[in-house]
């Protein structure tokens, strides 16, 4: 069972504003879905390693070569609607 | 037969024999969009001008006698999570509804190198999360076989566009079944490639250890030509391993004598629609009649795949979607915000649709302190056992066959408020994804309501050729 408070806590971690109605709905739906996940407890995974990737790749080191960027600085700045000031994006204050 | 109903080879030959031009073919596709798409809703952006311009460029190149690709001048539709320079790429999410990318995805660049004619961008579940294309900011895509039913998802737009002859081939992404399932619902071919076979660079990530860039086509032959054009390593995607790319068209029209086919009993269990199971078995029988050897096998971990997927995928998704904060990517919130953190909350609260919020919440939950070991780590271990299931099976057989989806296309709205039932519909496509295997959805018949049924052909990693070989034999 996932309570409304737990839903609010997870939403805070995920930086998502939820309405009370959404909190209610998610508490019910997430309880059901997460409840189903318990089926995995049937499986004995003692001494089993985790799979993080499937094609057996090892560390891939990048060659130290200068490559042109995929897009230009002003193209990147166009991706925001926020005001642009001396090549930087002006955001809301974080510290008062 | 109309031009927009032809296959890639028929078109490529038609161009060379000057029977018709790329412009004529492109116009035929664009008129099909105009005639039918108000009902089907397969496209979110149609690029009339751009498509005709590329078609004319191709026609000129051909008339000058220059070398052209087999895909050259042939209209394609791309899922809206592919970044296309200068053309909106929204992932069908409110937060990206006006996003115009400043660069092309690697696969788009490769297609441009093959004289691509792109007619438009197709509808999808928001950020590729869904199995029905009902979770799109731009409305639901309808199934061309029955418009009261879903086209499948998440690449539903690309499947429906091809099935309604609005393009000749198309692309989607398959993470847990998002190309195979809509292909099966819409009666077209959909090939989920091996993880890493096609570069993911520039296609918006969903679950990075599962995502693949995968095509839809009208025949096994079309799939072979498309894979020939886009497979291989890419500097910009370090998970594309240096595995040699074969000539996929060499697997066409090869006999299937002594090809060993495994039928997992779990894929024909209770819960599988009877007509689906019988139609699929009949297709396998036909291959047996051509000399293939059929063997019953077992993949005991199958029943745990949905749980593994719906833990690890949301975990990866919630991390990947972190960048959509209304500053680096995404729209400014409508509501005024007090400070920076409030800005993030508002931008994400307004900008994500319901299914995305649900999945981000699931992912954040399973990764949060106190739950990581119980859910995420456990799921990663069971994933290992799914991989081992397949390894063991492939010691005995060359390919594994079963249905793509336990049921044919369901009604619009039928599962939308019941996420768990919607997730269970992926039960037979997720296992191959968990192991990074290639799997082809191949249309093998219609049920008594006239709805398409798909056969799934699963092969060992990087053996896409075997899927094509078996599907090609069924076409003969």
Contacts of B17 (CB under 8 A, 6+ apart): none
DSSP 8-state secondary structure symbol assigned to residue A62 = P
User: How far apart (Å, rounded) are the C-alpha atoms in residues B304 and A42?
Assistant: 9
Q: How much of chain B exceeds pLDDT 90, in percent?
A: 92
Continuous segment of H or E residues that includes residue B219: none
Beta strands in B3-90 (DSSP E): 43-46, 75-79
Average pLDDT (A65-73) is 82
Question: CB within 8 A of B263, min separation 6: which ones?
Answer: B281, B284, B294, B295, B296, B297, B400, B401, B402
Q: Which two tokens stand for residue B17?
A: 């024999």
Identify the pLDDT of residue B329: 83
Question: How many CB pairs below 8 Å do chains A and B form together?
Answer: 163
Quick one: chain A helix, strand, coil %, rounded to 5? 40, 5, 55
Q: Which of B422, B408, B466 is nearest to B176 (CA)?
A: B422
What's the angle, vertex CA B404, arms to CA B93 and CA B181, rounded to 5?
20
Considering only CB atoms, which chain B residues are within 8 Å of A81?
Answer: 331-332
Q: What is the pLDDT of residues B367-384, one digit of tens each?
A: 998 999 999 999 999 999
Tell if the CB–CB gap between A14 and B348 is shorter than 8 Å.
Answer: yes
Strand partners, B170: B77, B216
Tokens at residue B46, please?
A: 């149609």
Instruction: Give the Cα separation of B324 and B126 in Å (integer).
Output: 13
For residue A60, the Cα-to-chain-centroid distance in whole angstroms is 24
* Integer CA distances (angstroms), B308 to A41, B183, B304, in order: 11, 24, 6
pLDDT tens per residue, range B13-68: 999 999 999 999 999 999 999 999 999 999 999 999 999 999 999 999 999 999 99
- Nearest C-alpha of chain A: how many angstroms from B348? 5
**Of B327 and B113, the one with more pLDDT:** B113
Does B89 qualify as catalytic in the annotation? no
Nearest-neighbour CA in chain B from A59: distance (Å): 9
Q: For B298-356, list the strands marked E by DSSP.
A: none
B198 and A CB contact within 8 Å: no
Query: Which of A3, A11, A17 is the best residue to mutate to test the B interface, defined by the most B CB atoms within 10 Å of its own CB?
Result: A17
In sequence order, what are the beta bridge partners of B457? B401, B440
β-bridge partners, B45: B121
Six-digit token string for B166: 């609005």
Q: For each of the domains in chain A, give its residue range(s) and CATH number, in order of start.
A: 4-42 (1.10.20)
> How confident is residue B262, by pLDDT bands cut at 50, 70 and 90?
very high
Q: Are A18 and B365 in contact (CB < 8 Å)? A: no
Which among B301, B339, B387 has CB closest to A94?
B339
Alpha carbons B233 and A3: distance in angstroms, whole number: 47
pLDDT, mean of residues B136-164: 98
Question: B331 — contact with chain A (CB < 8 Å)?
Answer: yes
pTM for this entry: 0.96
B167-199 confidence digits (pLDDT tens): 999 999 999 999 999 999 999 999 999 999 999
Average pLDDT over residues B427-444: 98
| Residue-range domains of chain B with CATH | 3-251 (3.90.1300.10)
> Who among A10, A70, A93 is closest to B361 (CB)?
A10
Most B CBs within 10 Å: which of A14, A60, A70, A94, as the mutation test of the B interface?
Answer: A14
Give the SS3 label for residue B297: strand
Q: What is the pLDDT of residue A14?
A: 97
Kindly give the interhelix angle for A4-13 and B354-367, rounded to the nearest 10 degrees: 90
Beta-ladder partners of B118: B76
pLDDT value of residue B388: 98
B residues 204-223 lying closer than 8 A (beta carbon) to A: 209
Mutate to test the interface with A, among B381, B418, B438, B458 (most CBs of A within 10 A): B381
Residues on chain A touching B105 (C-beta within 8 angstroms): none
> Which residue among B178, B184, B405, B472 is the active-site one?
B178
B148 has catalytic annotation? no
Query: What is the per-residue pLDDT for B332?
Result: 87
Positions of E strands within B265-407:
293-297, 399-403
* Nearest chain B residue (CA) to A34: B362
d(CA B198, CA B192): 10
Residue A78 has pLDDT above 80, yes or no: no
Chain B closest-CA separation from residue A30 CA (Å): 7
Give pLDDT, residue B1. Answer: 80
Flag whether pLDDT at A70 surpasses 80: no
Q: Per the structure block, which two tokens stand in for B310?
A: 């719906």
Query: Residue B275: what pLDDT?
Result: 97
Q: What rounded mean pLDDT belongs to chain B? A: 96
Closest Cα partner for B191 from B432, B431, B447?
A: B432
Flag whether residue B346 sits within 8 Å of chain A, measured between CB atoms.
yes
Tell me, yes or no, if A90 comes closer than 8 A to chain B by beta carbon: no
Confidence of residue B349 (pLDDT cuts 50, 70, 90): very high
Q: For residue A74, give both structure tokens.
A: 């002003």
What pLDDT, on the 0 to 100 scale, is given for residue A92?
Answer: 83
pLDDT at position A89 over 90: no
- CA A92 to chain CA mean position, Å: 22
Cβ under 8 Å to B: A residues 25-54: 26, 29-30, 32-34, 36-37, 39-43, 45, 48-54
pLDDT confidence of residue B35? 97
Taking an 8 Å cut-off on Cβ atoms, the answer to whether A33 and B362 are in contact is yes
pLDDT at B221 over 90: yes
- Condensed to tens digits (0 to 9), the pLDDT of residues B55-82 reads 999 999 999 999 999 999 999 999 999 9
Residue A85 CB-half CA count within 13 A: 4
Per-residue pLDDT for A71 more than 90? no
């Amino acid at each position: 069972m996932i309570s409304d408070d737990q839903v609010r806590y997870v939403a805070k971690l995920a930086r998502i504003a939820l309405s009370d109605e959404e909190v209610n709905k998610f508490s019910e739906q997430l309880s059901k879905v997460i409840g189903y996940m318990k089926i995995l407890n049937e499986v004995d995974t003692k001494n089993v390693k985790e799979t993080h990737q499937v094609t057996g790749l090892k560390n891939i080191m990048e060659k130290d070569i200068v490559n042109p960027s995929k897009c230009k600085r002003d193209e990147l700045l166009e991706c925001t609607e926020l005001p642009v000031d001396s090549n930087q994006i002006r955001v809301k204050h974080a510290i008062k | 037969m109309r031009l927009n109903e032809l296959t890639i080879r028929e078109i490529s030959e038609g161009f060379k024999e000057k029977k018709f031009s790329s412009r004529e073919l492109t116009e035929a596709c664009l008129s099909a969009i105009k005639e039918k798409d108000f009902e089907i809703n397969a496209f979110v952006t149609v690029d009339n001008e751009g498509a005709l311009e590329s078609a004319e460029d191709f026609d000129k190149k051909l008339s000058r006698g220059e070398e052209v690709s087999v895909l050259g001048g042939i209209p394609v539709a791309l899922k809206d999570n592919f970044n296309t320079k200068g053309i909106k790429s929204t992932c069908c999410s409110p937060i990206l509804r006006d996003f115009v990318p400043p660069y092309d995805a690697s696969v788009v660049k490769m297609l441009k190198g093959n004289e691509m004619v792109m007619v438009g961008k197709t509808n999808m579940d928001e950020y590729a999360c869904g199995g029905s294309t009902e979770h799109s900011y731009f409305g639901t895509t309808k199934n061309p076989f029955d418009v009261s039913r879903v086209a499948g998802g998440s690449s539903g737009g690309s499947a429906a566009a091809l099935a309604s002859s609005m393009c000749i081939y198309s692309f989607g992404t398959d993470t847990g079944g998002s190309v195979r399932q809509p292909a099966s619902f819409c009666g077209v071919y959909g090939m989920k490639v091996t993880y890493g076979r096609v570069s993911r660079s520039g296609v918006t990530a969903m679950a990075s250890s599962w995502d693949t860039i995968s095509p839809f086509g009208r025949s096994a032959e079309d799939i072979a030509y498309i894979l020939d054009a886009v497979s291989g390593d890419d500097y910009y995607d370090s998970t594309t391993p240096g595995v040699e790319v074969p000539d996929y068209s060499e697997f066409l029209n090869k006999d299937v004598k002594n090809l060993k086919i495994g039928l997992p009993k779990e894929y024909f269990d209770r819960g599988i629609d009877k007509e689906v199971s019988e139609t699929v078995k009949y297709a396998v029988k036909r291959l047996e009649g051509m000399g293939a050897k059929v063997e019953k096998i077992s993949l005991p971990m199958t029943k745990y795949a949905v749980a593994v997927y719906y833990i690890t995928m949301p975990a990866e998704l919630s991390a990947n979607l972190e960048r959509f904060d209304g500053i680096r990517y995404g729209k400014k919130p409508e509501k005024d915000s007090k400070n920076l953190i409030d800005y993030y909350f508002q931008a994400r609260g307004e900008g994500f649709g319901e299914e995305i919020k649900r999945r981000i919440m699931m992912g954040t939950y399973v990764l949060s302190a106190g739950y990581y070991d119980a859910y995420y780590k456990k799921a990663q271990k069971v994933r290992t056992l799914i991989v081992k299931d397949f390894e063991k099976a492939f010691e005995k057989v060359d390919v594994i066959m079963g249905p793509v989806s336990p049921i044919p296309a369901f009604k619009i709205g039928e599962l939308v408020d019941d996420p768990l039932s919607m997730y269970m519909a992926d039960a037979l496509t997720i296992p191959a994804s968990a192991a990074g295997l290639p799997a082809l959805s191949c249309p093998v018949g219609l049920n008594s309501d006239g709805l398409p049924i798909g056969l799934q052909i699963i092969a060992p990693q990087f053996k896409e050729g075997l899927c094509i070989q078996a599907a090609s034999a069924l076409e003969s």
